[in-house]
Amino acid sequence: MRLDKFLKVSRIIKRRTLAKEVCDGGRIQINGRPAKASSEVKAGDILELDFGQRRLRVRVVEIKENVPAALAGQLYEILEEIKVRETTF
């Protein structure tokens, strides 16, 4: 499955267009390598997402085309979540 579609289906990012922008902006890595929106995602992959003030590291557990919102969290496992503090000058 394409990375941008997985991010939308899993509800990590709510809209596919936003997922595509984030991917193409170089803010997501798959298994330690920069990823584009068209990159293939499979079960077992480690995704690292940089949201600016939050960094998220997840493992893809399962790939499904359509999932109810209540079950979307079962598609991935959160390995690490870091909240980055703003620096003030």
First to last CA, the chain: 43
Show me where the domains of the chain are located.
3-83
The pLDDT of residue 87 is 62
pLDDT in tens, 30-82: 999 999 999 999 999 999 999 888 899 999 999 998 889 889 989 999 999 99
Q: Which CATH superfamily is domain 3-83 in?
A: RNA-binding S4 domain (3.10.290.10)
What is the distance between the alpha carbons of residues 22 and 58, in angstroms, rounded to a whole number?
Answer: 16
Geometric angle at alpha carbon 61, from 58 and 66, rounded to 5°: 105
Q: 68 — phi, psi (to 5°)?
A: -65, 150
| 10-14, 17-21, 84-88: least confidently modelled range | 84-88
Please tell me the pTM assigned to this model. Answer: 0.85
Cα→Cα distances 82→48, 55, 62, 70, 77, Å:
11, 5, 23, 24, 15
3-class secondary-structure state, position 30: strand
